[in-house]
Amino acid sequence: MDATPRPARLAVGVISAGRVGSVLGAALARTGHVVVGTSAVSQASRNRAEELLPGVPIDDPTEVARRADLVLLAVPDDELSGLVKGLIATDSLRAGQIIVHTSGAQGVKVLEPAAQLGALTLALHPVMTFTGREEDLQRMRAACVGVTAADGDEVAWSVGEALVVEMEAEPIRVPEAVRPLYHAALAHGANHLITLVRDAADLLTNANIPNAERLLGPLLSAALDNALRHGDRALTGPVARGDTGTLRKHLTVLAEQAPDTLPSYRALARRTADRAEHSGLLKPDAANDVRTTLED
């Protein structure tokens, strides 16, 4: 039997109906909470609200917050502090509310003004990318959510975890102090992976090889799966083998035909050599040969 404490049915206000806010609002509504209002400025946000939060009134953020038991702040990182201060200045927040933001880079310190009013404050960061469409609700079921509450506030930690479990995701506790490193890790993995994949696809396209995405899909999916399962032991390719002859060919052709990609190739190859050496796949002499080749 699941003994996790579950919040009572809450009136939820979503500020704003961007890709994250609209999906989390819909996920909370799916669990039985009631979304009583959302804010939406752009037409794209209004369209998302109509699709994922049908029938929910679109209103000014201050009115959305006043009507809510749970205020979900899903705005860009740089806007979060100002939004909190603005809601307090307009008497839109009150003691007893649950104030949640979805920023990955920030913990609950940014919500301290609301906590001083007597609100329960949380950071809930879904570890996934969002399109703002219906399929995101299904992806949430396989996702983790980074939960941050004030140190020592077990009630807040439990409420945050319960909300995540209700959305059928997996809560992961992320203390305030490690939040910046946590977010850097996720951005490095997810954002730079997209850059890497698109660079690889562009190289194939520029070589007049058709269906680059079809070619890369099985290879990269297997590489990702192997890396998550086996760690550095999954490393393959010329760097991990110490094959400097092949490496020189790569550097030459990239310098000639894709100079914009060459710096990132060098940087990642150097890092691959370091990891291969550290894991014992590459002997120190061979690793040094690879580094020398990359610097030539």
Predicted pLDDT of residue 6: 54
Whole-angstrom distance, CA of residue 26 vs CA of residue 15: 13
Q: Are 41 and 76 in contact (CB under 8 A)?
A: no
Predicted pLDDT of residue 227: 97
Of the CA atoms within 13 Å of residue 263, those in its CB half-sphere come to 1
Q: What percent of the chain has pLDDT over 70?
A: 98
For the chain, what is the domain count?
Answer: 2
Average pLDDT over residues 75-81: 95
Confidence of residue 3 (pLDDT cuts 50, 70, 90): very low
Whole-angstrom distance, CA of residue 106 vs CA of residue 75: 12
Among 177, 215, 173, 176, residue whose Cα is nearest residue 197: 215
Q: Are 276 and 232 in contact (CB under 8 A)?
A: yes
Whether residue 246 sits in one domain with residue 212: yes
- CATH number assigned to the domain comprising residue 51: 3.40.50.720
Among 105, 101, 107, residue whose Cα is nearest residue 83: 101
Confidence of residue 296 (pLDDT cuts 50, 70, 90): confident
Whether residue 165 sits in one domain with residue 196: no
Residue 3 located in a structural domain: no
Whether residue 200 sits in one domain with residue 157: no
Out of 149, 174, 199, a domain closes at 174
Count CB atoms within 10 A of the CB of residue 278: 11
Predicted pLDDT of residue 19: 95
Q: What is the pLDDT of residues 107-146, one digit of tens each?
A: 999 999 999 999 999 999 999 989 999 999 999 998 999 9
Residue 4 located in a structural domain: no
Tell me which amino acid residue 8 is: A
Average pLDDT, the chain: 95
Q: What is the pLDDT of residues 161-201, one digit of tens each?
A: 999 999 999 999 999 999 999 999 999 999 999 999 999 99
Centroid of chain to Cα 138: 16
Whether residue 218 sits in one domain with residue 261: yes
Tell me which amino acid residue 156 is: A
Q: What is the pLDDT of residues 24-52, one digit of tens each?
A: 999 999 999 999 999 999 999 999 999 99
Average pLDDT over residues 50-77: 97
Whether residue 87 sits in one domain with residue 141: yes
Predicted pLDDT of residue 7: 58
Confidence of residue 8 (pLDDT cuts 50, 70, 90): confident
Average pLDDT over residues 286-296: 95
Q: What is the pLDDT of residues 12-23, one digit of tens each?
A: 999 999 999 999
Average pLDDT over residues 53-80: 97
Predicted pLDDT of residue 217: 98
Average pLDDT over residues 87-103: 98
Whether residue 140 sits in one domain with residue 24: yes
Whole-angstrom distance, CA of residue 199 vs CA of residue 59: 42
Out of 113, 141, 174, a domain closes at 174
Whether residue 164 sits in one domain with residue 22: yes
Whether residue 131 sits in one domain with residue 278: no
Residue 2 located in a structural domain: no
Residue 75 located in a structural domain: yes
Whether residue 270 sits in one domain with residue 222: yes
Residue 5 located in a structural domain: no
Residue 165 located in a structural domain: yes
Residues 6+ apart with CB under 8 A from 49: 17, 22, 38, 40, 56, 58
Whether residue 256 sits in one domain with residue 124: no
SS3 sequence, 53-107? CCCCCECCHHHHHHHCCEEEECCCHHHHHHHHHHHHHCCCCCCCCEEEECCCCCC
Whether residue 53 sits in one domain with residue 154: yes
The helix or strand, by DSSP H or E, that contains position 145, with its residue range, turns out to be strand 144-148
**Residue 169: beta bridge partners?**
none
Q: What is the CA radius of gyration of the chain?
A: 23
- Domain region containing 159: 11-174
Residue 168 located in a structural domain: yes
Whether residue 29 sits in one domain with residue 129: yes
92 cis-preceded (ω within 30 degrees of 0): no
Whole-angstrom distance, CA of residue 68 vs CA of residue 65: 5
28 three-state secondary structure: helix
Confidence of residue 287 (pLDDT cuts 50, 70, 90): very high
Confidence of residue 209 (pLDDT cuts 50, 70, 90): very high
Residue 61 located in a structural domain: yes
Q: Are 13 and 83 in contact (CB under 8 A)?
A: no
DSSP conformational letter for 44: H
Out of 148, 174, 200, a domain closes at 174
